[in-house]
A and B are shown apart, each in its own frame.
Chain A
Amino acid sequence: MPGAVVPTVSIQREDFDIAAEIAKLTEGRADVGAVVTFSGLCRDEAGALSALELEHYPGMAEAEIGRIAAEATKRWPLQGLTAIHRYGKIEPGENIVLVVAASSHRHAAFEAASFLMDFLKSRAPFWKKEHRADGSEGGWVDAKEADEEAARRWKR
């Protein structure tokens, strides 16, 4: 059992700087051999969407992503793990979420990042509401069974 790292979790309205987040995990050390980043962006759904409004449960959002990230550090030998999730109004092309996983080898970094995203999708308390480009009332985005399925594949 490797000494588990303490993940960094941030729930914030403002954007993040991907290069700066990578640098925080790699600067001043020579044991990191692999960094995997995943960033999720708001898409415009072929012009139909003008923005997403992300509602979250303050307090629980941090706690739940922290629990998922802590589980990832137990399952894989990581040197660092960062998860950032934005809330508020986000326009197409803007960042929504970032996961950065650093490890000695790529396998652990890929898997940990994928695991964190799969669980974050179905367990982190965030809800997306659509703002439509034509000004009509957009609805709440429906949860996808495929996302639940993606999380289930990590069960062991």
Chain B
Amino acid sequence: MKLVYFAWVRERIGKPEEEVDPPQSVATVSDLLRWLKTRGEEYENALQYPDVIRVAIDREHVDHREKVAGAREIALFPPMTGG
């Protein structure tokens, strides 16, 4: 699946997007965040407080209980500050 990152999540992870292949045990957004945190210091740093991370699947907001199966693009970003 494709992951895309924005704002300080992007800066801390150090890249705007990547393809990942999470293990079968990753069923929900919550699982995905937990798994990503194990991938290195930059992920640990970006996802230290998973509760503040906002997530969109295929460009729609979802909560952390949402299933990730079938997702084409999952975006991780901080709370939004537009307007």
Q: Which residue numbers of A lie inside 8 Å of B, CB to CB?
A: 40, 54-57, 59-60, 63-64, 85, 96-97, 117, 120-129, 140-143, 147
B81 CB–A CB distance under 8 Å: yes
Distance of A24 from chain B, by nearest CB (Å): 22
B2 CB–A CB distance under 8 Å: no
Give Cα A85 to B82, complex, Å: 8
Q: Give 6 new A-B contacts, CB below 8 A, not counting A57-B59, A122-B80.
A: A117-B83, A123-B80, A140-B81, A141-B81, A142-B81, A147-B83
Chain B residues in 8 Å Cβ range of A97: 82-83
Most buried by A among B4, B6, B75, B81: B81
Chain B residues in 8 Å Cβ range of A121: 80-83
Chain A residues in 8 Å Cβ range of B77: 57, 125, 127
Distance of A144 from chain B, by nearest CB (Å): 8
Chain B residues in 8 Å Cβ range of A123: 61, 80
Give Cα A3 to B42, complex, Å: 50
Q: Is the CB of A129 within 8 A of B7?
A: yes
Distance of A155 from chain B, by nearest CB (Å): 15
Q: Is the CB of A127 within 8 A of B80?
A: yes
Known: A127-B6, A129-B7. A56 touches B60 (CB 8 A): no
Give Cα A37 to B82, complex, Å: 17
Q: Is the CB of B8 within 8 A of A140?
A: yes
Q: Is the CB of A57 within 8 A of B82?
A: no
30 contacts between A and B (CB under 8 A): A40-B83, A55-B7, A57-B56, A57-B75, A59-B59, A60-B56, A60-B59, A60-B60, A63-B60, A64-B60, A96-B83, A97-B82, A120-B82, A121-B83, A125-B6, A125-B80, A126-B81, A126-B82, A126-B83, A127-B6, A127-B8, A127-B77, A127-B78, A127-B82, A128-B81, A129-B7, A140-B8, A143-B79, A143-B80, A143-B81
